[in-house]
């Protein structure tokens, strides 16, 4: 068998970090060249090192680099790229970017600009779902007239009909921006004003709507692929209920505890909405599952998701490769159609944890810094998607995801055992990450029982308490490491740079012994963990 | 053997209750709990204090070890200085590099401990800074949209 012809010759990847690396890998496997773009702080980053060509965009701030449509399109033209993959985040869901790419005679790897536009407006997406009989979360289908004092009574009456507590949400929103939880009617006008103002400043669009709060809820989403002939298949669902601040921390496929027919029904709802929206390429339809098993449509993300890997593991499909073929106008591949057939009964179970540079003892506060030690897990059934290595700096300018650790096993219990094993092998120093939280999840009986909801983290995680359990052991290790140093230099002296660190029971990487002592000290000043 | 004291650099608190087995002999750590110990760069004026970063159970600790007698002397001196400075102004500094997205106070405002002062956005997230103590705002050093670096003064409370 000969390899099929690559769908494109050269692809520009308009992103950074692990997702740029993931896409470049797909390019290389498909015999396509990859062009990286980078900001000044990323000049030596892994995605730049792996690419065949690289073009500088500008300084670190996203607005001056990864969000510059003009510079990215120009980079594609000067390097002779014939397609642009946007990854996730940055410009991936900006219809104006997709249009600029097409206007330059290049192929945008993703849904058409008109679909990005239509589904980016959550109210439009809710109306689209309603038009094909798919229930969205109960609420309004039009923007609330926040600037009409004469409408206040009507708005409150509408809110009473929807029921409290409810959520004020931004039509253009995402990531919880512009969102307000309202418990009493009296608080509604203020919440509408505040939510609208926040949405206007974050998205340039102050439109807000009302949605009933579903609680406890599970967040379950469906991976979709569609070709230019209008055929759309669901490749399977993912449960992403374990979140903090509306950002996912753990994702798994398939969703635990669902019967096969329940999965089929959910996939069918997603395909119905996507078909009505004219979806092409890859996208994800998000739903909430109420305690009684009802699915409510939430929104469609018209891009590759961070957590697409777990679906790849249980479907055997390379979603990024499919995106390229679909964007080149090919029909859904036999592999994709077969994966669609098996979507409700996938191959085993996969779990992903998002290792982020955050302090899980301080409400997951982000913290950039330099990675001093970096050991990622391996072995059977483990996949790590990351763009970092030891001694690299996690810049404060971008998303704080440092690695996605994925495991695949024949069933969910075996996948959890494998996750626990993989996380026990993982070692990171220099920055605080969410690793302790993920280890907690992998050992939690409730998680193993499939008892997850979007309130899981708030209800079960005691970060400071978990951290405190390790303080004494840390102190003991530091003291053991100090003993030989003190014995050499004396109690009152300054530690010499060539005295090896470490001691009994301790593994030491002697940072201070490196020749770049001054650099290390300077880094320590700039990379100090925020207090 | 020299008496040593381990201090948590983030809180300044001494750690008195150390696991006995950790002193001297190697202890077989359970899986995932093997401590990683890294010598850190000493801070200014840190003579005699040996700083370490220790990661155990995925948690990162900044600790320093010094001769216990020295530590006690130093602590007494610091306590005296802190008492003198107690009524002085408190500078609230940026705990993370980012962009100021909101400022909730102005010079002259009275603030209570825990009151929201401003918010800095970094890595897609908003981080609220709250008043470390009661007082009056003497100065707000930043404005909305401004980019701040770690340690930049933001607000002075008198």
CB atoms within 10 A of CB B45: 6
- Find, among A321, A270, A319, A278, the residue nearest to A112 by Cα: A278
Asked, for residue A116, whether it belongs to a domain, the answer is no
A residues 238..267 contacting B (CB < 8 A): 245
Distance of CA B106 to CAs A222, B103, B138, B144, Å?
48, 8, 8, 12
Distance CA A386, CA A291 (A): 35
Model pLDDT, residue B46: 65
pTM above 0.95, yes or no: no
pLDDT at A525: 42
Residues A249 and A397 in one domain: yes
Question: Does residue A182 sit in the same domain as residue A248?
Answer: no
Does residue A36 sit in the same domain as residue A91? yes
Partners of B10 on chain A (C-beta within 8 Å) are: 529, 531
Q: What φ, ψ does residue A437 adopt, rounded to 5°? A: -65, -45
DSSP letters along A397-433, please? TS--EEEEEEEEESSHHHHHHHHHHHHHH-EEESS--
Rounded-to-integer distance, Cα B135 and Cα B110, Å: 6
Beta strands in A150-231 (DSSP E): 166-170, 180-182, 208-212, 218-226
Instruction: Please state, in angstroms and rounded to a whole number, the distance separating the CA atoms of residues A360 and A191.
Output: 29
The interface predicted TM-score of the complex, written ipTM, equals: 0.87
A275-288 pLDDT, tens per residue?
A: 999 999 999 999 99
Q: Find the residue in B nearest to A521 (Cα).
A: B41
| pLDDT over 60 (residue B18) | no
Mean pLDDT, all residues of chain A: 91
Last residue of a domain, one of A212, A237, A258: A212
Distance in angstroms (rounded) separating the CA atoms of residues A392 and A224: 35
Which residues, numbered 17 to 76 in chain B, qualify as contacts with chain A under a Cβ-Cβ cut-off of 8 Å? 17-19, 21-27, 29, 31-43, 47-48, 50, 52-67, 69-70
Residues of A in contact with B149 (CB under 8 A): 526
- Beta strands A401-409 and A10-13: pairing type? unpaired
DSSP letter (8 states) at residue A495: P
User: What is the C-alpha separation between A214 and B64, in angstroms, rounded?
Assistant: 48
Predicted local distance difference test score (pLDDT) of residue B16: 66
Residue A129 resides in a domain: no
- Give the pLDDT confidence score for residue A304 in this predicted structure: 98
Cβ–Cβ of A396/B32 closer than 8 Å?
no
* Record: contact B4-A433, CB cut-off 8 A: no
User: What mean pLDDT comes out for the span A293-312?
Assistant: 97
> Which residue is it, tokens 């760069």?
B41
Query: For A481-517, how does the pLDDT look when each residue is reduced to its tens digit (9 = 90+)?
Result: 988 887 766 545 444 444 444 433 333 333 333 333 3
Does any domain span residue A472? no
C-beta separation of A304 from A234 below 8 A: no
The reported pLDDT for the residue numbered B128 is: 79
Question: Is the alpha carbon torsion for A119, A124, A128, A133 positive or negative?
Answer: positive
Q: Distance from CA of residue A106 to its chain's centroid? A: 27
Half-sphere exposure at residue B104, Cβ-oriented, CA atoms within 13 angstroms: 14
- For residue A5, being part of any structural domain is answered with no
Same domain flag for A353 and A447 = yes
pLDDT digits (tens, 9 = 90+) for A242-268: 999 889 999 999 999 999 999 999 999
Same domain, A189 and A226: no
Looking at per-residue confidence, does A309 or B138 come out higher?
A309
The verdict on a CB contact (< 8 Å) between B33 and A470 is yes
Instruction: Indicate if A457 and A482 belong to the same structural domain.
Output: no
- Closest B-chain CA to A477: B22
Say whether both A288 and A353 belong to one domain: yes
Domains and CATH numbers, chain B: 4-85 (no CATH), 90-157 (2.40.50.100)
Query: Does any domain span residue A133?
Result: no
Q: Give B40's contacts in chain A (Cβ within 8 Å).
A: 511-512, 524
Report whether pLDDT(A323) > 70.
yes
Nearest CA in chain B to A464: B59
Lookup result for tokens 């390019």: A27
Q: Which of residues 95-154 of B touch A (CB under 8 A)?
A: 95-98, 122-125, 127, 147, 149-150
Would you state the pLDDT for residue B114?
A: 80
Q: Are A185 and A231 in contact (CB under 8 A)?
A: no
3-state secondary structure chain B: CCCEEEEECCCCCEECCCCHHHCCCCCCCCCCCCCEEEECCCCCCCCCCEEEEEEECCEEEEEEEEEHHHHHHHHHHHHHHHHHHCCCCEEEECCCCEEEEEECCCCCCEECCCCEEEEEEECCEEEEEECCCCEEEEEECCCCCCEECCCCEEEEEC
Residue that wins the pLDDT comparison between A285 and B50: A285
Inside any domain, residue A404? yes
In this structure, how many other beta carbons lie within 10 angstroms of the beta carbon of residue B13? 10
Q: Which residue has the higher pLDDT, A515 or A372?
A: A372
- Do the chains contact at A509 and B38, CB–CB below 8 Å? yes
Higher pLDDT, A249 or B89: A249
Do A389 and A413 have their domain in common? yes
Q: Determine, for residues B38 and A471 on separate chains, whether the beta-carbon distance falls below 8 Å.
A: no
Per-residue model confidence (pLDDT) at position B127: 78
> Which of A245, A475, A494 is closest, CB to CB, to B15?
A475
Q: Do A363 and A384 share a domain, yes or no?
A: yes
Q: Which residues pair with A85 in a beta bridge?
A: A13
Segment B14-36 shows an average pLDDT of 61
Indicate if the pLDDT at residue B2 is higher than 90. no
- Percent of chain A scoring above 70 in pLDDT: 91
Identify the CATH number of the domain in which residue A327 sits. Answer: 3.30.470.20
C-alpha A70/C-alpha A51 separation (Å) is 21
Q: What is the pLDDT of residues A108-143, one digit of tens each?
A: 999 999 999 999 999 999 999 999 999 999 999 999
pLDDT over 70 (residue B26): no
> One of A22, A280, A303, A325 is an active-site residue; which one?
A303
What is d(CA A191, CA A176) in angstroms, rounded to the nearest whole number?
Answer: 14
- Residue A224 domain boundaries: 218-465
CA distance A156 to A210: 11
What is d(CA B25, CA A479) in angstroms, rounded to the nearest whole number? 11
Within the 21-40 window of chain A, which residues sit less than 8 Å (CB to CB) from chain B? none
Q: Are strands B98-103 and B125-130 parallel, antiparallel or unpaired?
A: unpaired
Chain B contact set for A396 (CB, 8 A) = 96-98, 122-123
> What does the pLDDT read at residue B129?
82
User: Looking at A162, A191, A212, which one is the last position of a domain?
Assistant: A212
Q: Express each pLDDT in A157-215 by its tens digit.
A: 999 999 999 999 999 877 788 899 999 999 999 999 999 999 998 888 999 999 999 99
Out of A54-68, A81-95, B34-48, pick the least confident.
B34-48
- Which residues of chain B lie closer than 8 angstroms to A524, CB-CB? 40-41, 43
Burial class (CB within 10 angstroms; exposed 0-12, middle 13-18, buried 19+) of A516: exposed
- Average pLDDT value over all residues in chain B: 79
Is the pLDDT confidence value at A526 over 60?
A: no
Residue numbers of B between 73 and 92 with CB closer than 8 Å to A? none
What tens digit of pLDDT does each residue of A136-152 get? 999 999 999 988 888 88
Contact (CB, 8 A) for A146 and A193: yes
B113 exposure class (CB count in 10 Å sphere: 0-12, 13-18, 19+)? exposed
Residues A151 and A255 in one domain: no
A389-439 pLDDT, tens digit each:
999 999 999 999 999 999 999 999 999 999 999 999 999 999 999 999 999
Query: What are the tens digits of pLDDT across the range A441-462?
Result: 999 999 999 999 999 999 999 9
Cα A168-A252-A175 angle, rounded to 5 deg: 25
Whether a cis peptide bond, with omega within 30° of 0, leads into A254 is yes
A303 belongs to the catalytic site: yes
**pLDDT at residue B116 in the model:** 87
Say if residue A397 is in the same domain as residue A486.
no
Output the pLDDT for position B132.
80
**Mind telling me how many Å the CA of A119 is from chain B's nearest CA?**
22
Q: Which residue has the higher pLDDT, A415 or B81?
A: A415
Which pLDDT score, from 0 to 100, does residue B123 have? 73
For chain A, the domain total comes to 4
pLDDT at position A395 is 93
Q: B110 vs A47, which has greater pLDDT?
A: A47
Q: Could you read off the pLDDT of A381-397 as tens digits, one per residue?
A: 999 999 999 999 999 99
Looking at the predicted structure, is the pLDDT value of residue A220 above 90? yes
Give ∠ CA A225-A230-A231 in degrees, rounded to 5: 55
């Amino acid at each position: 068998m000969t390899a099929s012809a690559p769908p494109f010759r050269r692809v520009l990847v308009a992103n950074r970090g692990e997702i740029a690396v993931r896409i470049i890998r797909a390019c290389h496997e498909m015999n396509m060249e990859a062009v990286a773009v980078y900001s000044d702080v990323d000049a030596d980053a892994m995605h730049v090192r792996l690419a065949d060509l690289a073009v500088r965009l500008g300084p670190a701030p996203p607005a001056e680099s990864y969000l510059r449509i003009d510079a990215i399109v120009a980079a594609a033209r000067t390097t002779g790229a014939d397609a642009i993959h946007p990854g996730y985040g940055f410009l991936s869901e900006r219809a104006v970017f997709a249009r600029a790419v097409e206007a330059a005679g290049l192929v945008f790897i993703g849904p058409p600009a008109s679909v990005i536009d239509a589904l980016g407006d959550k109210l439009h997406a809710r109306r689209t779902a309603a038009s094909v009989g798919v229930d969205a979360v109960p609420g309004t289908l039009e923007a609330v007239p926040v600037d009409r004092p004469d409408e206040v009574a009507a708005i409150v009456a509408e809110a009473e009909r929807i029921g409290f507590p409810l959520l004020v949400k931004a039509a253009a929103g995402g990531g919880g921006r512009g969102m307000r939880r309202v418990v009493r009617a009296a608080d509604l006008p203020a919440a509408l004003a505040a939510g609208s103002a926040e949405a206007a400043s974050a998205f340039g669009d102050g439109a807000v709507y009302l949605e009933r709060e579903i609680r406890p809820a599970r967040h379950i989403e469906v991976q979709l692929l569609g070709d230019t002939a209008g055929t759309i298949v669901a490749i399977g669902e993912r449960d992403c209920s374990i979140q903090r601040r509306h950002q996912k921390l753990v994702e798994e496929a398939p969703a635990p505890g669902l019967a096969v027919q329940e999965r089929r029904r959910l996939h069918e709802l997603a395909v119905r909405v996507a078909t009505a929206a004219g979806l092409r390429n890859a996208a994800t339809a998000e739903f909430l599952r109420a305690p009684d098993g009802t699915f409510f449509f939430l929104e469609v993300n018209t891009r590759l998701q961070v957590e697409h890997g777990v679906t790849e593991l249980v479907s055997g499909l390379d979603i990024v490769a499919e995106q390229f073929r679909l964007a080149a106008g090919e029909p859904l591949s036999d592999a994709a159609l077969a994966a669609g057939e098996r979507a409700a009964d996938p191959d085993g179970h996969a779990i992903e944890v998002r290792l982020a540079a955050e302090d899980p003892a301080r409400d997951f506060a982000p913290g950039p810094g330099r990675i001093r030690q970096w050991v990622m897990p391996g072995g059977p059934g483990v996949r790590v998607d990351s763009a970092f290595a030891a001694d690299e700096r996690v810049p404060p300018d971008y998303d704080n995801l440092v690695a996605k650790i994925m495991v695949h096993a024949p069933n969910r219990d075996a996948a959890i055992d494998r996750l626990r094993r993989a996380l026990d092998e993982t070692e990171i120093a220099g920055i605080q990450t969410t690793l302790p939280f993920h280890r907690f999840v992998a050992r939690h009986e409730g998680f193993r029982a499939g008892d997850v909801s979007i309130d899981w983290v708030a209800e079960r995680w005691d970060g400071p308490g978990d951290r405190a359990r390790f303080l004494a052991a840390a102190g003991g290790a530091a003291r053991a490491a100090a003993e030989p140093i003190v014995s050499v230099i004396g109690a009152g002296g300054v530690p010499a740079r060539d005295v090896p660190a470490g001691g009994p029971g301790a593994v030491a990487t002697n940072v201070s012994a490196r020749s770049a002592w001054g650099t290390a000290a300077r880094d320590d000043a700039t990379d100090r963990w925020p207090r | 053997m020299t008496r040593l004291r381990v201090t948590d650099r983030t809180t300044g608190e001494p750690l008195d209750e150390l696991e006995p087995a950790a002193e001297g002999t190697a202890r077989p750590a359970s899986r995932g709990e093997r401590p990683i110990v890294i010598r850190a760069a000493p801070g200014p004026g840190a003579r005699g204090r040996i700083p370490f970063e220790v990661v155990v159970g995925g948690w990162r600790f900044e600790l320093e070890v010094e001769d216990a007698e020295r530590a006690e002397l130093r602590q007494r001196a610091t306590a005296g200085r802190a008492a003198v400075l107690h009524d002085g102004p408190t500078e609230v500094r940026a705990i993370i590099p980012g962009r100021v997205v909101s400022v909730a106070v102005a010079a002259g405002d009275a603030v209570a401990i825990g009151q929201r002062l401003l918010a800095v956005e970094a890595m897609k997230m908003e981080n609220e800074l709250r008043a470390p103590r009661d007082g009056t705002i003497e100065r707000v050093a930043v404005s909305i949209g401004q980019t701040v670096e770690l340690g930049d003064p933001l607000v002075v409370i008198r």
